[in-house]
Amino acid sequence: MEGNQKLMSRMDEAGFTQNELAEAMNAYLRALGHAGTVSDRTVRNWLTGKTRLPHSRQREALETVFNCRITELGFAPRGEKDPPPSGPMEDRVLRRHFISASAGIALTAASATPAHGHSAQRRVGADDVERLLSKFSALIVSDQQYGGRLTIETQASSLAAEALALQERGTASQRVRGALYACAAAFISSAMWAAIDGRRLDEAQNYFDRAAGLAAMSGDSTIQFRIWSHAGSLYRHLGRPADALAANDVARGLPIARRDPLFASLGHARHAVIHGLVGNATDVRRAIGHAREAHDRADPNDHRPVWMTAVRDQGEIEELALSAHLSLGNFEKAEAHAHRSLVLLRPYMQRDRAIVTARLAHAQLGQGDIELAIATAQSIPAGVFTRHPRITRLLGDFGVRLHAAAPDSSYSRAWDEYAHDTRRNNA
């Protein structure tokens, strides 16, 4: 066997490195109460063919992460067409549902595993919540760097299962139990956002259903705001602006949005994007104005969750205004918002920076600055161009609009050549 090309192809499609695949599998195994013993060397042995077939638990984790049978990943035992099944198809469907929709399924499986030594339940306290929140912060930073990756989605689902497992395996005060539900909801909201960002919209809808229930049990309006705000983005991507406005209205009506002007600012800015999609210029201007006024009223020293960093810095507010004016065809205003956003976004926010840059290229093209627009689009790192679904789509639309603006021109030919070479070299 000269290497496992099927597994390699699946990893490339999902954006996994060897270490990232190992981490995703270990997160799943740990959520089910097993030891996470997969390493990058384990994955390398699969890729080279040194190990012809993973053991049963590893096969189960691989099938769950990639949502396919083990034979579709290039594995088969010597002398057989198919390996022994890692469980009935119904079980595999349930395991996939854990990854794509419900941390609760993983919790059920984990709870069904007897604890070693049948020890008494331990007390769960604030330290456990703080530990989970630190993992959530790390997950947010990873999302801001890469965005949309299946690895982020998988890790977030597994961490939600970890938070819920503490509910079952330990005793806690009512306040701590509420905080654990909020942590689980926060992790599922990150999985939901990763699915939206990666254009896996059916899975995002499943995550929303789960996250909304967990958030309601937590009583935490901060995480409820994030989830309903994400729902507005989901419905916007699904082409359902009325539902998007309704979901965003729920977010804007929560206590946190009434109490903290920064949350109100984000709610107004996201409303502007939805109004832009339906061509309502008056409401776009009004919403952006309200967003700026609310931002000016916000106390910059108040403590806020890490996912609000770009809002606090105003980079996300400018990014949303850019999107709204781009939808309206106000290309000059869109370009101005793009430049302001790029200045305000922090350097590690690579995903947002790439999206803003792609939209800036659209705004410049809309003003007839073809050469500048192409240079702007080409400044996006090649790996981001080809691996991030939203950016790939934005740049694909850019190519279509470039051909419409300058058909059969040297500019169009140069862009086509660049796009083709970039995809080929980063395949």
Q: Where are the domains of the chain?
A: 5-87
Question: pLDDT by residue (tens digit) across 172-192?
Answer: 788 888 889 999 999 999 899
What does the pLDDT read at residue 427?
Answer: 60
Strand, helix or coil at 122?
Answer: strand
Token pair recorded at residue 381: 């790192």
Residue 259: how many other CB atoms lie within 10 Å: 11
Helices (H) and strands (E) in the chain, counts: 23, 2
Query: What is the 3-class SS of 268-329, one letter each residue?
Result: HHHHHHHHHHCCCHHHHHHHHHHHHHHHHHCCCCCCCCHHHHHHHCCHHHHHHHHHHHHHHC
Q: How far is CA 230 from the centre of its chain?
A: 10
Q: How far apart are CA 70 and CA 76, in angstroms?
A: 8
Degrees to nearest 5, angle at CA 197 with 165 and 264: 85
Degrees to nearest 5, angle at CA 242 with 241 and 247: 95
Strand, helix or coil at 1?
Answer: coil
User: Which range (149-158, 291-300, 339-348) has the least confidence?
Assistant: 149-158
Question: pLDDT by residue (tens digit) across 28-46?
Answer: 666 555 777 888 899 999 9
What does the pLDDT read at residue 89?
Answer: 39
User: Which range (52-56, 265-269, 276-280, 415-419) has the least confidence?
Assistant: 52-56
Q: What is the DSSP letter of 170?
A: E
Q: How far apart are CA 247 and CA 235, in angstroms?
A: 8
Average pLDDT for residues 330-352, to the nearest whole number?
93
What is the average pLDDT score of the chain?
83
CB contact at 8 A, 412 and 418: no
Tell which phi-psi region holds residue 368, choosing left (phi > 0), alpha (psi between -120 and 50) or beta. left
Tell which phi-psi region holds residue 71, choosing left (phi > 0), alpha (psi between -120 and 50) or beta. alpha
- pLDDT(367) > 60: yes
Give backbone dihedrals phi and psi of 397, rounded to 5 degrees, phi first.
-65, -35
- pLDDT(84) > 50: no
What does the pLDDT read at residue 25?
Answer: 79
Return the CATH architecture of domain 5-87: Orthogonal Bundle (1.10)
pTM: 0.69
Token pair recorded at residue 194: 């990763």
- What sign does the CA torsion over 405, 407, 410, 415 have? positive
Q: How far apart are CA 114 and CA 230, in angstroms?
A: 37
Give the pLDDT band of residue 141 (cuts 50, 70, 90): confident
Q: How far apart are CA 57 and CA 287, in angstroms?
A: 52
Average pLDDT for residues 55-82, to the nearest whole number?
75
Q: How far apart are CA 183 and CA 206, in angstroms?
A: 18
Q: Which residue has the tokens 């603006």?
A: 405
- pLDDT(82) > 90: no
- pLDDT(13) > 80: no
